[in-house]
Amino acid sequence: MSTSVKKFLCCKGFGKTVARWLDTSVPDEAPQIDPHKPEWSRLAPFIAMHLACLGVIWVGWSWVAVGVAAGLYLVRMFAVTAFYHRYFSHRTFRASRFMQFLFAVLGNTAVQRGPLWWAAHHRHHHRHSDTEEDVHSPHTHGVLWSHMGWFTSREAFATNARAVPDLAKFPELRFLDRFDILVPVLLALALFGLGWLLEVAAPQLGTSAWQMLVWGFFISTIVLYHATYTINSLSHMVGSRRFSTGDSSRNNFWLALLTLGEGWHNNHHFNPGSVRQGFFWWEIDVTYYVLWVMGKFGLISDLRPVPARVYEHAKRSAGGPSPGGTRETA
């Protein structure tokens, strides 16, 4: 094969890779490789996001930029935990089509792919938790893989629309899922523009376009990434077990604080159909509190409570469950 032909094929392959970054519906025709190994075309953007955080060395910091980063962390964490997880994945409450789309967009700003992709993988996780078919179990594929390796594989890239037929019927959700890079790019541009505006209109704040981009988008997103990923990895390794669920899910107070309530993972795996994951008053679940308020204002409805049988089971299991057993289903 001539050098010119090899170069053409190389460029063509790279072009298709870029095309799939922009439009996830572009088919992947490359030969299949080990599904449990990262692929550079998935790994490169992830590494680039981390490296971009080093820009803080040059842009410095300001209270405004740090505040925007913290605020975006909280808003996007709520969108992921409340809607990507509790709504799209488990349907634990009802929302209008407008609210559904609004929070799908907010969830998309977290740069964790589209709502269909996220929900399809999570439903698969619950069906096969901590088995060989679980794509991100720390016990079958290793801690690093469960934390952040699995989604860089070719196998995990596509959306299994058959797993989420209830969501796939909405064209706006399919659009967000297909072009899942669009909203994050718009957020990055908006933050850059905000920083520029503040630099010109309020220089006393000490921020700038580049500083706002680095803190508001890159640093905030990377912290959000790894906080979210702890539920895949650490929540199946560190913490206590109230319920016998047939997997290794655990409750962890600190992870619950970090993720606005997702750390009550053993509770969730026992009864995934409840909107509340902190089953008892002392189990802080910020996401549930906000959803409860939204329900009171009529923004959402039909919040599914923790069934009485779950509390009865908890009383019977007060002595401490064993790792085996059965789990509740949604």
Q: Among all chains, which residue has been given the structure tokens 């060395």?
A: 57
Helix, strand or coil, per DSSP, at residue 37? coil
Residue 323 lies in a domain: no
Residue 55 lies in a domain: yes
**Regions of the chain where pLDDT drops below 50:** 1-10, 320-330
95: its two tokens: 């929302």
Structurally, the chain folds into a number of domains equal to 1
Confidence at residue 81, expressed as pLDDT on a 0 to 100 scale: 98
Confidence at residue 20, expressed as pLDDT on a 0 to 100 scale: 74
Residue 5 lies in a domain: no
CA dist 24 and 212 (Å) reads 28
Confidence at residue 95, expressed as pLDDT on a 0 to 100 scale: 97
Residue 326 lies in a domain: no
φ/ψ (deg, to 5) at 215: -80, -50
The DSSP secondary structure of 57-88, one letter per residue, reads HHH---HHHHHHHHHHHHHHHHIIIIIIIIII
Query: Which alpha helices (DSSP H) does the chain contain, by range?
Result: 3-22, 40-52, 56-59, 63-78, 97-108, 115-127, 138-141, 143-144, 165-168, 171-178, 182-201, 209-212, 220-229, 253-258, 265-270, 286-296, 308-316
CA dist 238 and 250 (Å) reads 7
CA dist 225 and 274 (Å) reads 24
Residue 155's DSSP bridge partners are: none
Residue 59 lies in a domain: yes
Residue 95's DSSP bridge partners are: 300
Residue 327 lies in a domain: no
DSSP class of residue 25 equals T
CA dist 250 and 51 (Å) reads 32
Q: Among all chains, which residue has been given the structure tokens 């206590």?
A: 240
Q: Among all chains, which residue has been given the structure tokens 């629309």?
A: 161
Q: Give the domain extent around 114.
A: 18-24+39-316
Residue 269 lies in a domain: yes
Residue 328 lies in a domain: no
Confidence at residue 13, expressed as pLDDT on a 0 to 100 scale: 60
CA nearest neighbour of 266 among 284, 285, 281, 246: 246
Q: Among all chains, which residue has been given the structure tokens 């053993």?
A: 266
Question: What global pTM score does this model have?
Answer: 0.90
